[in-house]
Structure 1
Amino acid sequence: MAGSKRDKIKMTPEEVASYLADNFKVQVATVGRDGEPHLVTMFYTLLDGKIAFTTYKASQKVLNLRRNPTMTCLVEDGDEYNDLRGVALYGRGLVIEDPGPRSKVGMVVGSRMAGLPVPEIGEPVDPVIAEGIEQALAKRVLIVMDPDRVVSWDHRKA
């Protein structure tokens, strides 16, 4: 019986992709030095369909990922039980230093964080704004979630 309920509320791959594209906050868990979870909320965008965000090179999550790439991401919403939706992704957090993709993600996330109009990945950004974001990105790396397993639920389907 539980399996049928679980199957009933599971999102299709297309629904997962749409849900992740429509959201921008993700809870990110990495594994600390002593094995404890390190949990933070980050603003993200999708890069080639994968959750991506920038963070300081010296942040705890980057130190954790360099030691152990295991990462879990959770995007969820809903206030009432029957409205709960979410996608949990289990896999590896890739630490990417390449300024090209870091800049693409940084322009989207940086614009959102600054309360500015949010461009699509690769869309041009006002040069003055872009310069400020690039300066902020100099001390950052790109993290991309490379999932092995995706679990989803949408209680509105029940």
Structure 2
Amino acid sequence: MREQRRGRAIAMTPGEVDLFLASERVCRVATVGAGGHPHVTPLWFVWDGSALWLNSVVRSRRWADLARDPRVSVVVDAGDDFDELRGVELSGEVEVASEVPRTSRPRADLAEIERGYARKYSGTPEFVADGRHAWLRLTPARLVSWDFRKNPALKPRRSG
């Protein structure tokens, strides 16, 4: 993975990235649509420390876009005020990581991902395949992070 160069002062550490991606619930997935037009959609995800796992409807424009061109950029962000903004952008190529659509057949290679997904979004350890979704895995070629709470220029000045 390429190292982040710009904005190193406000970049998250690897541990901060892991905690951030574990706690946030929605990412925005950008694909290349037909004719080269961008298409951005929100999606739920799981981060395993090295890959982002996306549970996508297989009959969707996003799925069709990725079947044509697996390049993707994903943003997870948070914060309301400028000095609170933080986020992670991951980009690379996705790969289909389950049968299409995902069935209820147990798979050891997906067990931890599916338990994590179920805990994150339903509060239970049991993942239930609905016959409409499948897993996509993004092992990022590039990961960029930012946390404006670290920016010394934005910290309140004390009067003295």
TM-score by length of 2: 0.75
Distance 1:103 1:60, change over 3 A: farther
Distance 1:5 1:52, change over 3 A: closer
What is the aligned-residue RMSD (CA, Å)?
Answer: 2.4
Quote the Cα distance in structure 2 between the aligned partners of 1:60 and 1:107: 27
Which protein is bigger by CA-based radius of gyration? 2
Distance 1:110 1:14, change over 3 A: closer
2:123 maps to which residue? 117
- Over the matched positions of the two proteins, sequence identity in percent amounts to 28
1:96 maps to which residue? 97
How many residues are treated as equivalent by the alignment? 140
SS at match of 2:80: coil
Q: Is the 8 A contact 2:96 2:135 kept in 1?
A: yes
Quote the Cα distance in structure 2 between the aligned partners of 1:38 and 1:118: 32
The Cα shift of 1:49 comes to 3.5
| Match among 122, 142, 148 for residue 135 of structure 2 | 142
Q: Is the 8 A contact 2:18 2:49 kept in 1?
A: no
2:158 maps to which residue? none
Which structure carries more strand by proportion? 1
Gaps of 5+ in 2: 152-160
SS at match of 2:64: helix
Q: Is the 8 A contact 1:85 1:153 kept in 2?
A: yes
Distance 1:6 1:47, change over 3 A: closer
Partner deviation per Cα, 1:78-102 (whole Å, 9 max, x = no partner) = 0000000010011112122345356
1:81 corresponds to 2:82: yes
Which structure carries more helix by proportion? 1
1:122 maps to which residue? none
Quote the Cα distance in structure 2 between the aligned partners of 1:18 and 1:91: 21
Q: Is the 8 A contact 1:97 1:142 kept in 2?
A: yes
